Amino acid sequence: MLLTDTPIEIPLIVTAVNAGRTAQARLASMGILPGEKLMVLRNDINGPLVLEVKGTRVAIGRGLCQKVMVSPGNEESKE
Amino acid sequence: MGKEITIAFAGNPNSGKTTIFNRITGAHQHVGNYPGVTVDIKEGKRNIDGLPVKFIDLPGTYSLTALSEEELVSRNFIVESKPDVVIDVLDASTLERQLYLAVQLIELGVPLVLAFNMTDVAEKAGFKFDIPLLSDLLGIPIVQTTATSGKGLAELLQTALSVARQKIEHEPKPLVYGKELDTEIDRIVTRLSSTEVNPYIDLPLKWSAIKLLENDSEVVSDFMNTGGDVGELFDAVEGSRQRLARIYSDPADMLIAEARYGIISGAASEAVTRTVEERHNFSDRLDKVLINPFVGMPIFLVLMYLVFWLTFTIGDPLMGWLETGFAWLGGTVNGWFGEGSESPIRSLLVDGIIGGVGGVIVFLPNIMLLFISIAVLEDTGYMARAAFIMDRLMHKIGLHGKSFIPMLIGFGCSVPAIMGTRILENKRDRLVTILIIPLMSCGARLPIYALIIPAFFPSHLQGPMLWTIYVIGIILAVVLAKLLRTTIFKGESSPFVMELPPYRTPTIQGLLIHAWDRGRMYLKKAGTIILAISILLWWATAYPKLQIYSDDYDSQLETLRIDYETELMDVNLELGLPDGFDNIKIALDKWIEDDRSELTTTNSLLADRFLETVIEIDEIRIGFDRAVDEQGLIENTPDFITVKYVFESRLTELEESKPDYFPIAENYLDNILSPYLAQSSEIEFKIYEENLNYSIMGRFGRFLEPVFRPMGYDWKLVTATLGALAAKEVFVAQLGIVFSVGEADSASSSLRQKLMDNYSPLIGFCIMLFSLISAPCVATLVVTRSETRSWGWALFQFFGLTVLAWILTTLVYQVGTFFGIGV
């Protein structure tokens, strides 16, 4: 499902990032790339989302978030 | 003395990199000069163990791709300047993300030391680091530091120097990207080792191989630019990519990014443990409020108001002191030359250099205060939140959330605002913001509105009129931003990806270094290009000199002086002083010359009493004017009448206590001194006006009149507009000169009268509209040029806005004239 459609504060795993190369690399440098865990902390009606990734908080524009696919990541998959 | 050692600092933004750099280099740092780079690279020098060491503060980056300027600048610096050692500063509490950069530095094969910063904070948050194990796993020395207290910095330096002197062997463990990737990387390495074509002979072949596989634009073009035959090599890379595509769905660059994180989490799972998972810490709780869509915005606006208030309310008195200082300097230099000296050197020094540069340097306190405020917002971590909040709005006009802050500052002054766009990382966002900032009506334009509005508009329309002007500026800025975004700066707006760093307490040293950096840059500009332009403008207003005036002003002035002195003699007689006693005249002349501050004694009790009374009356009157001015009182309002009553009763009191001197003193002030000063300054301004007419600026004004005609301007307005190029507020003074009403300020009622007699309210509005939109002042031009590092953008802004102003003002004037509105 789309990152923008997920409930907040549940663990998620990125399955795909369908953005352009620049945006993809930008997200990767923040730790957002397939296989990585993250959590949505804030998702208001409009404006950027706030994610928790690798212990940091990152704000990502809504448009870009719509290009990130995620699936629910269960707690056990946390090492 | 050995060879100079270069140590470069790399690291993520907010990792404490700059704090460590500041701690180590102290005040001995400057912005390095790297041509073609709009990102600052700071340098600092220090002797360690008698050896000179150069420190470089690379821009904070998360990665080393060729996709952003900062990253490319950092990478190119490492590739080209080959520092002896790179210290990668990492925030230990977000280690995994931070190591992503470290892995790329290892790939570059550069001698590396990792500084685990803020380990104390990380340990409090429940992290446990096995530093020796991690260091061993990566093959890189690791030093734990606390930047804010300076702990661990000595050890960090020693380790870095040992690595630089090759006392510690630099032997990173080979990075394992996974079977398939490693196979393909090895294939490209083999191909590279058998070819002559390699622009990066000093770097590991593996790095080139990875970059080629990633399809890194810079590396690919460097290979092409070697001129060698790269066809086979590129075919091999393409083959590798296709083989990988058969196995994986992600492109090669993503696979490599994933592999890097794989390497990191492998090492971290062995050497880092987290005992307690702490949720909802201080930053979390603060963010619940600060980035809340409902509460966050009002808090942001209050904080912005504080920045504004600090910059201009605290800055203005300091600015006043500097102004006084420059006035004093001008006066002193003036004094070196004889009375009424016509020396061109005097004029150049006083009017050109001191006036011109002084007019620019007076902004220094505002600029320093603004940058201290910005530094506080940045160093506490709030700036990222502000950008987050504003992004909803700014996104709609194609700008970044952070653009809002410099735009707001533009209402005070465009110069610090344009310098403030440095907080924007994206070049396009930055350029658009710079270009539209002058439309935020700056403080220097306020005197123009303050002069014009009361002259042409009834009092109930004055407030709405001022509001209209400001709103027109904002609307134009929004429209222009959108327009620029869809034309010149077309393309996807940079994605909003921004870390919200944990909140921190800023260090005083960091704040001061930040503010001083900007201040110093500004001073440097004032001393060079602005100086040159000031001299040019002065020259254009002062030359060529008129030889013969239309009237014999000298003898007129002389007659006035003789009349004045005769009348003073009458005062002498009235006081009962001996005939020919001229000590009063001497004392009064000195008093007027010293701006009515010091009074010398006259050796006569009678004369002294009289002079005291003159001064006391004068002081009460000045006090009244000042009170009206400071409280912004409008004539005939109840407040005005109250204040007037207070000062009038003081005068009455004085009259009662000095019945003998008061009438004579009052008569002298009102009927002798004031007319004399008014008439002589009127003549002086006539001289000035004739000179101005004759000067290049005046001729240019007349020459340009036809161009400005369609928007209702005559040559006087054109000349005043040209003069305002130096600084917008000069417009009022220039207008005063061309209308020869003597010294004019925005509250000048005689100038307002002249304007009302000469122009219609429509023209009044056109003057304001043109002043709002047209060419920003020279200081803005120069700052735009230095911030964009291009005269092209500066001139584009300068002329683009002027043309826009001309079109809009002409439109308003023509439509207004046609429909008979305000004519």
Structure confidence at residue B738 as a pLDDT band (50, 70, 90): low
Give A60→chain B minimum CA distance, Å.
5
Structure confidence at residue B102 as a pLDDT band (50, 70, 90): very high
Q: Are B457 and B446 in contact (CB under 8 A)?
A: no
Which amino acid appears at position B531 of this protein? L
**Which residues are CB-contacts of B229 (< 8 A; sequence separation ≥ 6)?**
B197
pLDDT of residue B148: 81
**Does the distance separating the beta carbons of A26 and B391 come in below 8 Å?**
no
pLDDT of residue B343: 74
Q: Which of residues B138 and B358 earns the better pLDDT score?
A: B138
pLDDT of residue B571: 83
CA distances from B434 to B400, B405, B751, B784 (A): 13, 12, 35, 7
How much is the average pLDDT of B457-465?
82
How much is the average pLDDT of B645-663?
89
Q: A55 contacts in B (CB within 8 Å)?
A: 93-97
How much is the average pLDDT of B196-207?
88
Interface test mutation site (partner A, options B94, B254, B388, B389, max chain A beta carbons within 10 A): B254
Percentage of chain A modeled with pLDDT above 70: 92
**Does the distance separating the beta carbons of B495 and A26 come in below 8 Å?**
yes
Q: Classify domain B5-164 at the CATH class level.
A: alpha beta
pLDDT of residue B336: 82
Give B445→chain A minimum CA distance, Å.
35
How much is the average pLDDT of A8-19?
92
Domains and CATH numbers, chain A: 3-73 (2.30.30.90)
DSSP state of A11: E
Q: Are B448 and B768 in contact (CB under 8 A)?
A: yes
Q: Are B261 and B100 in contact (CB under 8 A)?
A: yes
Give the chain B residue whose CA is nearest to the CA of A28: B257
- pLDDT of residue B521 exceeding 80: no
A68-72/A11-17 β-pairing: antiparallel
How much is the average pLDDT of B437-451?
82
Structure confidence at residue A76 as a pLDDT band (50, 70, 90): very low
> Closest by alpha carbon to B42, among B20, B14, B12, B15?
B20
B51-57/B85-91 β-pairing: unpaired
Give the pair of three-digit tokens for residue B36: 């073609």
CA distances from B229 to B55, B196, B211, B226 (A): 39, 9, 18, 9
Structure confidence at residue B381 as a pLDDT band (50, 70, 90): confident
- pLDDT of residue B409 exceeding 90: no
H/E stretch holding A68: strand A68-72
Helix axes B791-819, B427-436, angle to 10 degrees: 40
- pLDDT of residue B621 exceeding 50: yes
Give A23→chain B minimum CA distance, Å.
7
Q: B269 contacts in A (CB within 8 Å)?
A: 79
pLDDT of residue B180: 92
pLDDT of residue B257: 94
How much is the average pLDDT of B725-738?
70
A62: number of Cβ within 10 Å:
19
Dist CA B63 CA B75 (whole Å): 9
Which of A8-12, B1-5, B398-402, B549-553 is the least confident region? B1-5
Which residue in B249, B253, B389 is closest to A25 by CB distance?
Answer: B253
Structure confidence at residue A77 as a pLDDT band (50, 70, 90): very low
Structure confidence at residue B258 as a pLDDT band (50, 70, 90): very high
CATH architecture of B179-274: Orthogonal Bundle (1.10)
**Does the distance separating the beta carbons of B384 and A55 come in below 8 Å?**
no
DSSP state of B668: I
How much is the average pLDDT of B152-164?
92
pLDDT of residue B134: 93
CA angle B382, B384, B387 (to 5 degrees): 110
pLDDT of residue B67: 75
pLDDT of residue B823: 76
Percentage of chain B modeled with pLDDT above 70: 91
pLDDT of residue B237: 93
| CA gyration radius, chain B | 34
Which of A18-32, B521-535, B562-576 is the least confident region? B521-535
pLDDT, tens digit, 9 for 90 and up, residues B675-714? 888 888 788 777 877 887 888 888 888 898 999 999 999 8
- pLDDT of residue B479 exceeding 90: yes
Each as own residue / partner, the long-range contacts of residues B550-556 (CB below 8 Å, 24 or more positions apart, any chain) are B550/B690, B551/B686, B553/B683, B553/B686, B553/B687, B556/B683
pLDDT of residue B340: 59
Which amino acid appears at position A66 of this protein? Q
pLDDT of residue B212: 94
Three-class secondary structure of residue B11 per DSSP: strand
- pLDDT of residue B369 exceeding 70: yes
H/E stretch holding B787: helix B778-788
Per the DSSP assignment, residues forming a β-bridge with B72 are none
**Does the distance separating the beta carbons of B391 and A47 come in below 8 Å?**
yes
**Does the distance separating the beta carbons of A57 and B283 come in below 8 Å?**
yes
**Does the distance separating the beta carbons of A50 and B497 come in below 8 Å?**
no
H/E stretch holding A50: strand A49-53
- pLDDT of residue B226 exceeding 90: no
pLDDT of residue B491: 66
DSSP letters, B315-374, are HHHHHHHHHHHHHHHHHHHHHHSPTT---HHHHIIIIIIIHHHHHHHTTHHHHHHHHHHH
Dist CA A33 CA B309 (whole Å): 43
How much is the average pLDDT of A26-31?
91
pLDDT, tens digit, 9 for 90 and up, residues B778-804? 888 888 998 888 899 999 999 999 999
pLDDT of residue B744: 54
- pLDDT of residue B363 exceeding 80: no
Which of B189-193, B207-211, B597-601 is the least confident region? B597-601
Reported ipTM: the value is 0.92
Q: Which of residues B377 and B189 earns the better pLDDT score?
A: B189
pLDDT of residue B746: 58
Structure confidence at residue A79 as a pLDDT band (50, 70, 90): very low
Interface test mutation site (partner A, options B280, B291, B383, max chain A beta carbons within 10 A): B291
pLDDT of residue A33: 92
**Does the distance separating the beta carbons of A47 and B100 come in below 8 Å?**
no
**Does the distance separating the beta carbons of A21 and B388 come in below 8 Å?**
no
Give the pair of three-digit tokens for residue B418: 């344009």
**Average pLDDT over chain B, rounded to an integer:** 84
pLDDT of residue B422: 78
H/E stretch holding B792: helix B791-819
Chain A contact for B283, CB < 8 A? yes
> Closest by alpha carbon to A77, among A13, A17, A29, A28?
A13
Structure confidence at residue A74 as a pLDDT band (50, 70, 90): low
Structure confidence at residue B1 as a pLDDT band (50, 70, 90): very low
Give the chain B residue whose CA is nearest to the CA of A53: B97
Q: Are B37 and B107 in contact (CB under 8 A)?
A: no
pLDDT of residue B213: 94
Which of B421-430, B487-496, B584-593 is the least confident region? B487-496
Dist CA B250 CA A27 (whole Å): 14
Which residue in B251, B258, B500 is closest to A58 by CB distance?
Answer: B500
Give the pair of three-digit tokens for residue B737: 């000169």
- pLDDT of residue B111 exceeding 90: yes
- pLDDT of residue B459 exceeding 50: yes
pLDDT, tens digit, 9 for 90 and up, residues B56-71? 999 888 999 877 777 8
Question: Taking the domains of chain B in order of start, what are their residue ranges?
Answer: 5-164, 179-274, 296-499, 553-684, 685-819
